[in-house]
Structure 1
């Protein structure tokens, strides 16, 4: 049986308008909405001047792989939080800045970043710990569709 948890994802950046329907299809296939337990996402639901924030309960493994892969392919920054499943996996935050790899950070059930003693010791300094928290909490730019 697949573990299912809550998930939220915020997406921003510039996307070719010709790919708008592809983005909508991926959002819908993941069962994401503008609110937890909200109505299905539609093309009219894009924000006018900010990043797109989406939510769902009961998401398999707490991942939106199809949507996240699309964002990585298109260079769309995103931040995803997913809850944990007892004795299986903990809550996490995934961060993609628009380039490079998706970075994973430990989080709590409220979406706050956390570190344990081992991570703090490996980071080695207060400045490195603060840099870790900054890297895990980037501002997601507005989502814009370009001609």
Structure 2
């Protein structure tokens, strides 16, 4: 039996309509919701013009392996938080910017990035430490799907140009 914890993920970027259909199936298979203890995700739960935030309790090993692998393959940026499992692992935030490999950061149960003395020494300067925190706080863009209505500068749906 897998160790299970609460976890959440925020993803964004631009995808095709067919990729969104595939993504929606993966999200539903993972039994994710747009709110804690909410209904299983359906394609119409996405808010156009916003990053997609998803939540679940009882997540095996605190990760969404299939979803995260799909995002890496499609170069879809995400951040994932998972809670700690006493005696096994600490809480973490995983950041994928859409390029390279996902990076893990130590966080607390409230998803605040923490740093230990060894990491401070490894980074070596206050500028490097601040860059570490900045990288952990990567901004995830809205999840845009081809065919979405255009957004005006104030975020309201508008007509095309």
Q: Which structure 2 residue ranges, 5 or more long, are not aligned? A: 148-161
Where 1:19 maps in the other structure, the secondary structure is helix
Q: What is the Cα-based RMSD across aligned positions, in Å?
A: 0.8
Residues 31-66 of structure 1, C-alpha deviations (whole Å, 9 max, x = no match): 110111101110101111110000001100000000
The residue that corresponds to 1:36 in the other structure is: 36
Aligned pair 1:54/2:45, yes or no? no
Question: What is the match of residue 75 of structure 1?
Answer: 75
Which residue does 1:26 correspond to in 2?
26
- Alignment of 1:101 onto 2:101: yes
* Secondary structure of the corresponding residue to residue 15 of structure 2: strand
Partner Cα distance (1:146, 1:100) in 2:
25
Q: Show the counterpart of 1:12.
A: 12
Q: Of the two, which has the highest radius of gyration?
A: 2
TM-score in terms of structure 2 length: 0.89
Q: How many residues align structurally?
A: 147
Q: Secondary structure at the match of 1:112?
A: coil
Alignment of 1:104-115 (within 5 A): 104-115=104-115
Structure 1: segments with no counterpart, 5+ residues: none
Shift of 1:2: 1.3
Larger relative contact order (Cα-Cα within 8 Å, sequence gap ≥ 6): 1
Query: How much does 1:19 deviate?
Result: 1.2
In the alignment, the residues of structure 1 paired with residue 27 and residue 125 of structure 2 have an alpha-carbon distance, to the nearest angstrom, of: 40
Query: Hey, what's the Cα distance between the residues in 1 that align with 2:134 and 2:81?
Result: 16
Normalising to structure 1: TM-score of the pair? 0.98
Deviations along 1:106-135, one digit per CA (max 9) or x if unpaired, are 111011111101101110010000000000
Q: For 1:132 and 1:32, locate their aligned partners in 2 and report how far apart those are by CA, in whole Å.
A: 29
